[in-house]
Structure 1
Amino acid sequence: MWPHFSQGNAVTLLENGAEFFPALASSIDHARHEIFLETYIFRDDRIGQMIADALARAAERGVSVSLLVDGFGSRDFVARRMDELLERGVRMLVYRRELGRLLLRRHRLRRLHRKLAVIDGRIAFIGGINIVDDHNTALPDHPRHDYAVMVEGPLLQPIHDSTRHLWELVAWASFRQRLRLKDTVPPRTDPAGNVKAAFVIRDNLRHRRDIETAYLRAIARATDEVVIANAYFLPGRRVRKALTSAAERGVRVIILLQGRVEYALQHMATQALYPALMRHGVRIFEYRRSFLHAKVAVIDGHWATVGSSNFDPFSLLLAREGNVIVRDQAFATRLRERLEHAMHDGAVELKPPHWRRKALLTRLFHWMAYGLVRVAIGLSGYANERLPRKR
C-alpha cells in the first residue's frame, strides 16, 4: 500500500531554528563516518557559518561529507564559501547552478527545495528550515516560524536511499565522476521507537504528485479536523475542492498562512482565493507575529506531515521536495498544540465580512496578481496543469 509506512521509528518535532540548528550541529560534530546535507538556501550568515564550519571540521577528521545546495537559493554561498569548503575536504555539488537568461523555461525553474540531512545512516533531519539565521528578517525580535523533524529507525532506509540517489544523479549530470559515490554507510534500520511513518518525495519523473496525492487522500478521509500551516499557498483545483468538500461535510478546516508580505505578487494572488474558501466554511488565519515558513499539517489528530512542500505551483509542479508523514496520535497532538499556540500568539482570523468590505479596486488588484501568476506558470510550460480558476 502506498505510501509505505514503517513501524518502530522515533520522530522528534523541532520548532524553529532554536531547536533545529543545535540538534543538527551536534549530530554533525558527533558524526564518525558519513554526512549528507541537502538544502535550498545555505546563507553565509551566523548560522550558515556555524553549520559550514561543523561540516568542514567533520571532513578534516575523516568523515565523508557530501553537501548539495541549490544553485539559485544558495548562489551567494556558493560564490563565497564553496572553494574554502572544497579545500577543507567537503564534497560539494550545486543543483542547477545556472539559471540562464530565459528564466521561464521549465527546466530552469526546477529547483532543489528539500531540506534534509542524514548522519552516519542513523539519524535524519527533514523539514522546512533552511540553513539561514531565522532571526535575520525585517522582524529580528521574532524568528521565522517553521518546523523540522529528527528521525531514527527503519525510515532511515528510504531517506538514505533517496539522498544517495539524488547525489549520484547530480554528480552524473554535472560530469563530476570523481564525486560519484562508492561505498556508503548502511542505514541503521533497527527499531528506535513506536512511531509509524513514511517518507514521500516530489520529483519530475516517478513521483511528480506523490506529496499532493498523500494530502488529498488524508483530507478526503478526514472526519473531524484538517489543520494546515503553509508559507506559500496557491493550490490547484483538486486541493481546493478537497478542502471545501471537507468543510461542507462538517470537518473543521483551518488554514494558517503567511500574514507578512514577503513576495507581494504571490501574497496578493493567494488572498484572491480567500473569499471562495471562506464561503465554503474554511477558516483562514494569517500569522503576523513574524514570517511563517512552515509546511505542516495535522488531520483528525493522528495523521501529520512535516516537510518542505508548500501548496503552490513551485512546490507541486517544479521543485524537488521531501515530507515525512506520521501516523501517531502523540506526535500529531504535539504538532497540533504548537500550531494552536502559534495561532493564539501571533495570528489573526480573517472573516468574510472583512473581505466583502474591501474596495473594488483592491479586489481587482488581487485578481490581477493572481492572473499574472497564472500567466507566469503558463509561460513556463504548465498552462495545462490543474491551477485554480477564478470562481
Structure 2
Amino acid sequence: MSQFLPNNQITLLRNGEEYFPALEAEIDHAEHEIHLQTYIFENDATGQKIAAALMRAAGRKVTVNLLLDGFGSKDFPASLLDALQAAGVNVLFFRPKISPWTLKRNRLRRLHRKVSVFDGHVAFVGGINIIDDFDVPKDKTSPRIDYAVRIEGPLLVPIMQHVHTLWARTAWSQLKPATINIHQLDQPATGDKLAAFVVRDNLRHRRDIENAYLAAIENAKSDIFIANAYFMPGRQFRKALMRAAKRGVRVRLLLQGRMEYFLMIATHAFYSMFLRAGIEIYEYHKSFMHSKVAVIDDDWVTVGSSNIDPFSLLLAREANVVVIDKGFAQTLKQDLEIVLAEGATPILWDDWSRGFVLKRLVSWVVYGFVRFVLGVIGQPKQ
C-alpha cells in the first residue's frame, strides 16, 4: 500500500475551467523538466493551447516529456505530433498497437492516469484529459464535471518516482532514450495536509486503489459520498457498501445519467440491490459527469483517474490521491452537493421496482457480457 506523507499543500481544481489555466501556467513557469501523462489529448482549442505551451517550454530548453495512451489518443493528428517533435517535445505513446479484433489482455491495459509534474516541485493528479470541457456529445451548453488536484510538498517524491519509471520503461520498450533531467527528489514541507499517491498497475500495485476505497468504506462511521463516471463495482466492493448502509452509514452514489457508451448500462444491474439496502442513487443528467472522486466521513477524500469498474480496477494504469483533511473534504463535498442539487435526479425504489423492466433486463445481459470478456482475458471474477 502507498504511504501517507504529511505537510503537503493540495488545491482542488474543478473542471477544465480551473485546471487548464493552472496547467498552462506551470508549463510556462517550468525551467528544467516537464512530464505530462494523459489518456486523451484532443486536437481542439484546449489541446492546441496546451500543445503550444509545451512547445514554448521546449523552446526555452526545458526537457518536455509527453506520454499519451495509444488508444485514448489514437486520433492524435500527425501534423500536431510533427510540430511538437520539431519544437523539441519528446512524445511517446503507451501501447501504440491497437487491435479492435482481439480481447488479449495487453491490448486492454491502457494508460488512463492523468498526471503531470513540473521541475519536481509541482504536480497535478486527477481525472481531466486534455480536452475541452464542452467537447461533449449532443448538448454542449453545460461543461463535463471532473476534478484534479494541484500538489506541492513531500508527496512529489513518490509521484516523481512513478512518473520517471513509467516514462523510462515506455521509452526503453520502444528503443528510445529516456530523457530525464531531475533526480533530486527531496521536497520541503509546504502545507498541512496528509496525503498518499495511490496507483494501479500490473506489477506491485494491482489492487491499491480498490483496497484504499475498501478500507475507507469499512471504517466509515457516518457518510459515504461517491461520484463516479463508470460505476460497475465487483462483489467485494458492493458488499462493503451494503454493509456500511446496514450499520447506519448514509451512502450516496452520484453516477453518470447520460449514456456515453453502451456498456455503461451494466451499472443498472446493481440498482435494485443497492436501493433495497438503503443506498441512495442519483444520476447526473445536466451534462456528462466524468468525476472519479469520493468523500467519506468528512475527512477522507480521493481524487483521481480511476473509475470503479473492472477496466480501471483490474486493467488500466490509474493514479489517485487520497487526502486526510477535514477542510479539503468539506470543499469537495460542498461542490458535489451543488452538482447533485443542480443536475442530478434521484432514483427511487418505487419507480425503479415497478418500471424500467427492459432496462433492468438489458443491464444484466450487458453485465454478463462484461463478465464473459473478463473471463476470456483471464481476470479474476468480481
Please tell me the TM-score bracket, short chain as reference. over 0.9
Partner Cα distance (2:356, 2:292) in 1: 31
Unaligned runs of 5+ residues in structure 1 are: none
Number of residue-to-residue matches in the alignment: 381
AA partner of residue 222 (structure 1): A
Residue 110 of structure 1 is matched in structure 2 by 109
**Is 2:308 aligned against 1:311?**
yes
Once the 2 structures are TM-superposed, how far is the Cα of residue 185 of structure 1 from its aligned partner? 5.0
Once the 2 structures are TM-superposed, how far is the Cα of residue 355 of structure 1 from its aligned partner? 1.1
Once the 2 structures are TM-superposed, how far is the Cα of residue 372 of structure 1 from its aligned partner? 1.7
Partner Cα distance (1:188, 1:206) in 2: 23
Which of 202, 205, 210 is the equivalent residue of 2:203?
205
Partner Cα distance (1:378, 1:60) in 2: 49
Once the 2 structures are TM-superposed, how far is the Cα of residue 61 of structure 1 from its aligned partner? 1.0
**Kept in 2: contact 1:121–1:188 (CA 8 A):** no
**Kept in 2: contact 1:110–1:320 (CA 8 A):** yes
Partner Cα distance (2:274, 2:211) in 1: 20
Moved over 4 A (4+): none
Once the 2 structures are TM-superposed, how far is the Cα of residue 99 of structure 1 from its aligned partner? 1.4
Partner Cα distance (1:378, 1:329) in 2: 41
* Secondary structure at 2:75 match in 1: helix
**Kept in 1: contact 2:63–2:181 (CA 8 A):** no
Once the 2 structures are TM-superposed, how far is the Cα of residue 92 of structure 1 from its aligned partner? 0.9
**Kept in 1: contact 2:164–2:180 (CA 8 A):** no
Partner Cα distance (2:24, 2:178) in 1: 25
**Kept in 1: contact 2:33–2:181 (CA 8 A):** no
Partner Cα distance (2:323, 2:157) in 1: 16
TM norm structure 1: 0.95
AA partner of residue 159 (structure 2): I
Unaligned runs of 5+ residues in structure 2 are: none
TM norm structure 2: 0.97
Once the 2 structures are TM-superposed, how far is the Cα of residue 78 of structure 1 from its aligned partner? 5.1
AA partner of residue 253 (structure 1): V
Residue 162 of structure 2 is matched in structure 1 by 162
AA partner of residue 44 (structure 2): D
**Is 2:275 aligned against 1:278?**
yes
Once the 2 structures are TM-superposed, how far is the Cα of residue 364 of structure 1 from its aligned partner? 1.7
* Secondary structure at 1:59 match in 2: helix
* Secondary structure at 1:73 match in 2: coil
Once the 2 structures are TM-superposed, how far is the Cα of residue 370 of structure 1 from its aligned partner? 1.5
**Kept in 2: contact 1:238–1:386 (CA 8 A):** no
Which of 362, 366, 373 is the equivalent residue of 2:363?
366
**Kept in 2: contact 1:33–1:185 (CA 8 A):** no
AA partner of residue 378 (structure 1): G
Cα 1:225–1:359 change in 2 (3 A) is closer
Partner Cα distance (2:76, 2:186) in 1: 32
**Is 2:248 aligned against 1:250?**
yes
Cα 1:92–1:348 change in 2 (3 A) is same
CA deviations 1:134-162 (Å, max 9, x no partner) are 10112211111000000000000000110
Partner Cα distance (1:123, 1:66) in 2: 15
Once the 2 structures are TM-superposed, how far is the Cα of residue 79 of structure 1 from its aligned partner? 3.3
Which of 330, 341, 360 is the equivalent residue of 2:338?
341
Once the 2 structures are TM-superposed, how far is the Cα of residue 188 of structure 1 from its aligned partner? 5.4
Partner Cα distance (1:312, 1:39) in 2: 19
CA deviations 1:82-133 (Å, max 9, x no partner) are 1221111001110000113543110111000000100011100000000000
CA RMSD, 1 decimal? 1.2
Partner Cα distance (1:108, 1:78) in 2: 21
**Is 2:120 aligned against 1:143?**
no
**Is 2:172 aligned against 1:175?**
no
Cα 1:19–1:112 change in 2 (3 A) is same
Q: Once the two structures are aligned, what percentage of the paired residues are identical?
A: 52
**Kept in 2: contact 1:122–1:188 (CA 8 A):** no
